[in-house]
Structures are given as structure tokens and as C-alpha cells.
Chain A
């Protein structure tokens, strides 16, 4: 039986992952900000097969409560086999350009809070000498694009942090997976005009994420074709890239 901690558990992708793990009989510790939605998610997962489901209310920006959360999680699960970090917001780029405070707040949620969590979790897993740390970053972190570089730079920080942690924790038997979804149909992307053929459902994304974590992949593009797309985008020379409207 796997014992799994999920941060940002009421997000569409995290919920879909939790359902797959529940069907395998896992024990889940769910962390989310909205108490009512957290309770609804907890109630849904036991009938789907989870051995036990615990809920913990937390705003990830409340960095001082991270330790309490982790303590409660360790008390409930004893050992943490998998951590999935899935919280995040999609900043309004134009609004951030006009409001530095907003930009910093968005950066804090998408990068600062994640790095703070990873720092504490790394110490915990290092002590366990086992477990997998899976973090949802984004293809947006692979390159800074004019249309969403606030989100992109936060995700770039997460990606770089994961890469460093992977090297640090490898010697201790702990694995780190960087998950880079492309376009997923979720409430977060509901109002974006995304190109339909490239969009997958949260359930399809979850199937790939759960399988990728089990196979201990290092970097997981979701779906796989984004590895090719991002290879091309990363290869574009600066003089061309800066002229593109991406």
C-alpha cells in the first residue's frame, strides 16, 4: 500500500491522480486551501478504494504552517512514499505587468511556496532514505515567453530546484520527478483559447503522471509530444525567438 501526500489536492490534475491511486488502495493525505472542497474530495476517495483519506487545510503561502502540516502528515501516514505537489495559479500576465505587488504574490504562490515545501520535504525524505518527490512544473518554465513569463519564471525556478534536489537526494535513495504538463483542460485553463488538438483531459494527464512516477522518470512531459515541441522551442536562437508571438 502506498502512502501519498498531495499538496493542492483539489486541483483537477491532483484529484484525477488521487482517484487513480485510490483505486490501487493507497492511503492519502490531502492538503488544500478551501475546507469545503477539501471535505468533498476526501469523501469521494474512500468509496473509490482508498485505504484511508486524511484532509489538512492549508494555504501554501502560509509558509510558517508548513511544518505543522508535515508533522500531521507524518503522524497519519508514518512513512511518505510519494509526494505530489500540485498547487498553483495562472497569473494574469498583463495585470502583473501593471502591478508589481501582484506579480510578487503570484511568484510567491507558484515558486516561493513550492520551494519552501520542497525544502522541508527534502529533509524528511532524506531522513527516510526512500520515497518519490513529484512536482508539477510546466512547459512554460522551459523558456520565458512574452505572453506569460511571470508564470514561466516561477515554473523555471521550480524546475531548477527539482533538478538540484534530484542530484542531492539521489545518493539517499530518494527520487525527484519534474512534471511538465502542456495544455490540460482544467478550471485553471477554462478561459484560455487553447489549440484543441493539443489539449488533453485532466484524467489523461493523471494517467501519464501516475505511470511516470511509478517508473521513476526524471522529467515527465505530459503528454509525451511536448518533449519534441519544447526541444524545438528551446533550440530557437534568441534573435528569432524574441520576434515570435508565443
Chain B
């Protein structure tokens, strides 16, 4: 049967035809066939990239979701090798039983290992552990010109660096070998505290970030003061058995218009902020609600309606972070549309092995906006502020940035272009490099 797949934000809403190998030995043949028939293709994991970085220029993707097997595990050293289509959720479930956890996880556990590598994802512990790519020991790379390669920092340093954060353009990542992190339980000791102004966030962040493995803040960007809630967490030494999995709620259909509007947003933000304590509160949380609150709502992207949504995620270097952040929040408040999800986080200075890795030492801000034509003007303004501050936007979440901004913010793009597999081309890469 033939379905179609889309990017997570449904913006741009360009359907992709998936071609899905089931076994490892089928992948080379399928890549060659797609190359011959459509010119170019692109590896596609579980479709959690927000914009066009996961869309093939030919609209025919090599869909790797069925390649999701474990290949080898060494639980004494915490080293796992698995096929690239495996989701973090599967890996975490298996690893926790042996006292291991993924060292870096983004805000959804439904990303694939290949996708996490290609976007060099980061998590709430970037200040401690850096990006996902730092923990990759080796991976298999299938190229249309050179066949099957095994890449490690020693054997193929150039391809290794270019593929981490390489947006799936250097070849098909077929498997990933990862060094896991030891943990005692799947529980986290958490600290939660709300703050009333953006200055308070910077004070909390400076004081508490160095003390905790995970830190992140939610902000109410409809409120003039940019109030918010600060969360910190650490893997717990002790804890009861795993709780029974909570019910997963789903959004059954895409409503014609976005359910996210100014009124619903203001109400939600108000209630959410009030629900959190004014003084630091300690608690213990299972890892799933702590890391992946949105994973409890299957297909939550549908709440933004048929027109979809766009995320704006930038990182601002330390020197300029505070004033630039005020400017961004001011521009958003003036625009009056606001964002349901606004997440602010400090990034550390641990260098990524990847050429095009997104994080840099500073602060990262992520916002979701229902798509509408008026967004373009707002995004132009926000992009300009980020550019001025010497920051950059996140390709994995992007559907709009200009080629000029991209090439300025990621000067290594030409090195990646030289190593790109000629059979692979994304709509994103086409947009920002030409």
C-alpha cells in the first residue's frame, strides 16, 4: 500500500512518497533505484523534523522506520549498536533495565537514532553533555558512490564530522553505535520554581544550571514581563518500580482551523503559570513526563489545524543573549499572536564533533506559531535580531530562514556540500544553498 508522509509542522505541506526497506540488505538496492528513477532522494526517519529539512527535493524519501532492530549490545560497558530507524523510546526501554540511559535526548522520544544523529540533537543537559553526536562512537553510512562505509572519528574523520548534524545529506546512516550513560533508576529528582520576570530567569539559570544535570524553562510570552517556570532535574539514586504507562491521548483528526488562538493561549498560560510554586519545590518524577510531556498526546501537531505551524528556534551567544532575548520577546508581544510552547534553555560550551551542529554557548529559545501569512513579517524581524546578535536558527525546526542568514551562520556549509552524496538532496538544502 502507498501512504504519504509529511514533516511534523505540516509546513510546508508537501507530501512525500515513502520507499521503505524492511531489511538491511534491501537498502542499497532501494537507494540505487531511487537515484536512477528520481535523480535524488533523502533518508526519512519518523518525521519529527518540523520543516523542510526532512523533505526530499524529489518528494520521494527512503523511509527507514522499519529498520529498527538492535544489532549488538554490550550492557557491561553501555554500548549499543542498532539500526538507524530505531526510536529513542525503544532504546531507553531496553537500556533502563540494565542501568543505562541515553546521554542526550530531545523533547520527544519518537525520534530515530539516524534522525538524532543527522540533526545532532541536544537536550536539557547540553551544558553538561553537549550534543547527541558527542556520544556516537561509530555509524554505518551507505553512499550512492562509495557503497557501505563504517565511520568513526579515527577511520573517516571528515565524513564523521560532516554526517553529525549533516541533515542526512552525506549518505544513508544505516546504523548507529552509541555510548550510553549509567543511571540507577528511571526516576528524576526535580526542582520546580516559577519566576515573574526575565531577569529572574537569568538569575535562576546562573545559580542553578551548574548544579543540575537537566535544566529548562517555559515562558509565557504573552505576559509583558515574560514570566515563566524553571525546571531542573537529576537522575535519582532511588525510586520505586516503573509506574504503569499512563493513557496516551490522541488528536483524532485535524481541525479546519487552529485551536491555538490568543484567547485559548492566554487562558492556558495563566493557568499553567499559577499551577507552579513561587518557591523552589522538590519532587520525584518518572522520566517520561519530565522529558516528554507532549508525547502523551499522540499527533499533537494536529491542534494547529490544516495550515500547520512553524517553530522558531534560535540560539544566542552568551555576550548578546540577554538584550537580544528581550528584543525577541518584545517583538513577539508586539505582534500579539504569542506562542503555545516557548522554551528557554542555556547551552554550554562543549564543542560538537559535527560541522553544522546548531547549539553554541549561550541561550536557546524555541517557539511554536500557528501558520498564517502574517508570520512572515514577524519571522523576518526575529531573524534580523538573531543575526545581529551573532546567533543562528535550527535547521531541524526551520521552514523559513533565508539562504543568506543560513550561509552566514553556518560557514562550514560548503565543506558539507563537497561531501554531500550526489543522490541526496533536501528541499531545505536546495532552499538555503542556492
Contacts and interface: CB of A to CB of B under 8 A. Distances in A.
Given A12-B22, A43-B72, A48 B1 contact: no
Contacts of A101: none
A190 interface: yes
Interface string A42-67: 01101111000000000000000000
Interface centre among B22, B90, B93 (most CB of A within 10 A): B22
B1 A192 contact: yes
Nearest to B68: A44
A237 interface: no
Contacts of A40: 23-24, 69, 71
Contacts of A41: 69
Contact of A190 (B1, B90, B93): B1
A198 to B, nearest CB: 10
A43 B1 contact: no
Contacts of B1: 183, 185, 189-190, 192-194, 196, 199
A44 B70 contact: yes
Nearest to B86: A44
Nearest to A12: B22
B1 to A, nearest CB: 5
Interface residues of B, number: 16
Contact of A43 (B70, B93, B94): B70
Given A41-B69, A193-B1, A196-B1, A47 B22 contact: no
Q: How large is the interface on A (under 10, 10 to 19, 20 to 34, 35 or more residues)?
A: 20 to 34
Contacts of A185: 1
Interface string A181-197: 00101010110111010
A99 interface: no
A47 B23 contact: no
A47 B3 contact: no
Contact of B70 (A48, A187, A194): A48
Contacts of B3: 196
Given A187-B22, A190-B1, A49 B69 contact: no
B73 interface: yes
A49 B94 contact: yes
A121 B94 CA distance: 33
B24 A47 contact: no
- Which 5 pairs of residues, A with B, have the shortest CB-CB distance? A44-B69, A47-B70, A47-B94, A47-B73, A194-B1
11 contacts: A23-B93, A36-B23, A40-B71, A43-B71, A46-B70, A47-B94, A183-B1, A189-B1, A194-B1, A196-B3, A199-B1
Interface of B: 1, 3, 22-25, 69-73, 80, 90, 93-94, 97
Given A23-B93, A43-B69, A199-B1, 4 more contacts: A36-B23, A40-B69, A48-B90, A196-B1
